[in-house]
């Protein structure tokens, strides 16, 4: 499986989506730390196992690390803007994206997604609630960018609809830990406890 990943690496660009408003957290969650690493670093480290390059999209907090940062392409907020920015920037066949507020989506999960894409247009994991997670996914750039542009041209920017527009390789990761989304101080405390286990 690792040979397969190495074969794909040159064809994959990694993007950490860090442009959320963090309104419920009260501070920029991208630069908060958990398990000794910031959310951005955790996501970047996971992505670096499947992608030759990793870029951070939309980070507005103070960051003094080595990663390349690009601003969101549009002023409007919303995760679809981060995805659009990543796909528009991507110079390879595939873009692997990971939202920084999914701190337990790890390298193994990303390797599984990349390894499963084959002829599909995207690869996404399915959560326990039956919904696809489009912010921890691998996209075939040339096919997916026009779809995202069409969504942006309409009023409904819900990213969830993307899964029904594309031919998606769906993987079902074990457990729920990978899909934990950290948006509030209470969720942050839970995540810190989980990281220690």
Q: What is the pLDDT of residues 52-67, one digit of tens each?
A: 999 999 987 777 788 8
pLDDT of 125 higher than 90: yes
The answer to which of 59-73, 135-149, 164-178 has the lowest mean pLDDT is 59-73
How much is the average pLDDT of 4-29?
A: 76
Among the listed residues 101, 111, 124, the one whose alpha carbon sits nearest the alpha carbon of residue 182: 101
Distance CA 90, CA 15 (A): 9
With tokens 């064809």, the residue in question is 11
What pTM does this model have? 0.92
Residue in 37, 82, 35 with CA at minimum distance from that of residue 60? 82
Quote the CA–CA distance of 61 and 157 in Å, as a whole number. 24
Determine the pLDDT at residue 116: 94
Distance CA 197, CA 184 (A): 20
C-alpha closest to that of 124 among 166, 82, 158: 166
The pLDDT of residue 23 is 61
Share of the chain above pLDDT 90, in %: 55
- CB 116 within 8 Å of CB 171: yes
Give residue 96's pLDDT band: very low, low, confident or very high (50, 70, 90): very high
Which CA distances in Å does 147 have to 81, 135, 161, 189, 191? Answer: 13, 15, 10, 37, 34
Residue 171 has pLDDT above 70, yes or no: yes
Q: Is the pLDDT of residue 14 over 90?
A: yes
Lowest mean pLDDT among 12-21, 132-141, 168-177: 12-21
The closest of 26, 17, 125 to 80, measured between CA atoms, is 17
């Amino acid at each position: 499986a690792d040979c397969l990943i190495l074969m794909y690496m040159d064809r994959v660009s990694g993007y950490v989506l860090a442009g959320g408003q963090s309104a419920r957290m009260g501070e920029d969650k991208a630069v908060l730390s958990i398990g000794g690493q910031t959310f951005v670093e955790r996501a970047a480290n996971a992505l670096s196992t499947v992608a030759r390059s990793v870029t951070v999209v939309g980070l507005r907090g103070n960051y003094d690390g080595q990663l390349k940062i690009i601003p969101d392409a549009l002023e409007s907020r919303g995760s679809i803007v981060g995805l659009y920015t990543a796909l528009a920037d991507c110079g390879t066949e595939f873009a692997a994206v990971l939202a920084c507020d999914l701190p337990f989506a790890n390298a193994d999960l990303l390797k599984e997604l990349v390894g499963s894409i084959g002829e599909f247009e995207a690869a996404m994991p399915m959560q326990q609630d039956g919904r696809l997670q489009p912010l921890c996914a691998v996209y075939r750039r040339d096919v997916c960018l026009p779809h995202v542009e069409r969504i942006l041209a309409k009023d409904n920017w819900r990213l969830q609809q993307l899964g029904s527009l594309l031919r998606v390789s769906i993987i079902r990761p074990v457990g729920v830990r990978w899909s934990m989304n950290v948006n509030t101080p209470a969720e942050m405390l839970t995540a810190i406890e989980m990281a220690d286990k």
